[in-house]
């Protein structure tokens, strides 16, 4: 009897909440754990089915790989699972239980490709997919159980301490060190994605509930936002403006200074980071709280 292993597919069909319209997706990115494995060498489409390079996926999930040339069988192992995949066959096994693939595995340019759906069965990880966003991720971590609502952010008991460590609510990353795949691995697929313009490179913005992660490319002449991005803002946006006095009370300290520029605001100088309150309504209300690198 074929053992049915749990696979969770999250289909996210969204209307993006950004002002600029979403452009047609030219690339469908595939992430395995915190690694980006996108590209023609790891993703192929046969008769409308997406097949992925099984070694690239399993390596991203820290499985050990071996190849039996005589039997034409690939083996992937971690402490909990042993997965065998036969070349040019619909047969595979997971911990000794036979699994039938939707389509046969394919060998192309020395790489074995298997249906994306099988990866969830094989690895025990979630396969998260959204055609709308042009993203597929194989991950154990999602935002399930984490509040992504702005009103809950103000209920936190250590807002300033978290901000000093590069955290805003549930969104946590080290500025300049996290590739996009790492963020998706932490929080799952975003609710929205804004491609921006060619001048600002691809995927400059992601939305998770009331949170935003805004990107720039380190090299503005190269599309490297997926593998080597520069995160210049994490923000929480409130559905309705919140009284400044309530925000300051929730934070627990008065701001260090008034900030001037495109938007008026209040600023907390936190060493490596800056916490910024964007004001509106005669400077009595806060609509957006942002965390920036200190030099922004």
pTM of the predicted protein model: 0.70
Domain map of the chain by residue range?
A: 29-139, 150-293
The DSSP output letter for 7 is: -
User: Residue 70: what are its φ and ψ, rounded to 5°?
Assistant: -65, -50
In angstroms, the CA 63 to CA 78 distance is 5
Domain 29-139: which topology? Copper Amine Oxidase; Chain A, domain 1 (3.30.457)
* 3 state SS of 84: strand
Q: What is the pLDDT along the chain (296 residues), one digit of tens a residue?
A: 333 332 322 222 222 222 223 333 345 678 888 887 776 678 888 887 888 888 988 988 889 999 999 999 999 999 999 999 999 999 999 999 999 998 999 999 888 999 888 888 888 888 888 877 778 888 876 555 567 888 888 887 789 999 999 888 888 766 555 667 877 887 888 888 775 554 544 456 788 889 988 876 555 444 455 555 677 889 999 999 999 999 999 999 999 888 766 778 999 999 989 999 999 888 899 999 999 888 65
* 3 state SS of 92: strand
217 CB-side CA count, 13 A = 18
The first and second tokens of residue 173, run together, are 């990353």
Q: Which residue do the tokens 């049915």 mark?
A: 4
In angstroms, the CA 120 to CA 142 distance is 15
């Amino acid at each position: 009897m074929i053992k049915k292993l749990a696979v969770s597919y999250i289909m996210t069909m969204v209307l993006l909440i950004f002002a600029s319209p979403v452009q047609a997706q030219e690339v469908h990115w595939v992430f395995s754990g915190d690694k980006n494995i996108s590209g023609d060498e790891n993703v192929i489409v046969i008769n409308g089915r997406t097949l992925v390079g099984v070694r690239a996926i399993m390596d991203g999930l820290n499985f050990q790989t071996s190849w039996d040339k005589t039997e034409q069988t690939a083996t992937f192992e971690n402490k909990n699972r042993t997965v065998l995949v036969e070349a040019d066959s619909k047969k595979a096994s997971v911990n000794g239980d036979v699994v039938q693939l939707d389509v046969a595995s394919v060998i192309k340019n020395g790489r074995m490709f298997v249906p994306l759906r099988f990866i969830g069965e094989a690895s025990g990880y979630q396969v998260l997919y959204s055609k709308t966003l042009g993203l597929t991720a194989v991950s154990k971590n999602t935002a399930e159980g984490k509040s992504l609502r702005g009103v809950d952010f103000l209920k936190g008991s250590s807002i300033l301490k978290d901000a000093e460590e590069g955290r805003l609510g549930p969104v946590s990353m080290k500025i300049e060190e996290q590739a996009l795949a790492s963020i998706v691995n932490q929080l799952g697929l975003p609710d929205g994605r804004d491609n921006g313009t060619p001048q600002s490179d691809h995927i400059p913005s992601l939305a998770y509930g009331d949170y935003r992660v805004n990107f720039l490319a380190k090299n503005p002449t190269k599309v490297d936002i997926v593998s080597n991005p520069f995160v210049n803002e994490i923000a929480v946006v409130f559905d309705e403006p919140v009284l400044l006095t309530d925000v300051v009370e929730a934070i627990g300290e008065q701001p260090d200074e008034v900030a001037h520029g495109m938007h008026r605001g209040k600023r907390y100088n936190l060493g490596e980071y800056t916490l910024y309150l964007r004001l509106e309504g005669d400077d009595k209300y806060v609509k957006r709280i942002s965390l920036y690198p200190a030099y922004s």
